[in-house]
Amino acid sequence: MNLFGGKTNKYRLVPRAPGDTTPLDPTIVDALRKAGMDPARFTVVPLEAGEANALASPLFRTGARVEHAFAFETVNGALSAIERLIDDDLGARISKQDSKWVVVFDAPDDPSVAAGDAHQALAKRVTDLGAEDRGFTHLTMSLTKKTV
């Protein structure tokens, strides 16, 4: 089904504009409710020409993950930590929060190693770079691809 009359059947979810009451497909409404989201707050729009279709798939691996966060005073310290730690199993992303550079390292959850112990091992490797420990978080990533 093409909701917008064009050739695309790929959409992205966006916040609804004030006063927008365009009804959503019941399948989308059900999926939003199952995800704990209010369908009245969102709508769908077609992907724009050149927009990445599955941008998240190369950035986040599926499965049980642990994210380890550290803040740095300088971008040099943050980038040095990334250079020191990333490998085939450990990814990283960086963002600016207030006056600090926050680096989040994303690793597969190893059930044989406590996440706190794994976090401390990473912290020991970046403390000399001025890392402020922001803790770790367990998460599970899943990517659903639906081809219509």
For 13-32, the pLDDT digits (tens) are 788 888 888 898 898 888 88
- Residue 107, class by beta-carbon neighbours within 10 Å (0-12 exposed, 13-18 middle, 19+ buried)? buried
Q: Which tokens sit at 94?
A: 């960086």
* Beta-strand pair 63-72/132-141: antiparallel
136 shares a domain with 81? yes
pLDDT category of residue 43 using cuts at 50, 70 and 90:
confident
pLDDT for 97 equals 92
**pTM of this structure:** 0.59
Which pairs count as long-range contacts for 21-27, CB under 8 Å and 24+ apart, including other chains? Answer: 25/1
Residues spanned by the domain of 66: 56-141
Q: What is the DSSP letter of 45?
A: E
74 shares a domain with 27? no
76 shares a domain with 39? no
86 shares a domain with 105? yes
- Determine, yes or no, domain membership for 2: no
- Determine, yes or no, domain membership for 31: yes
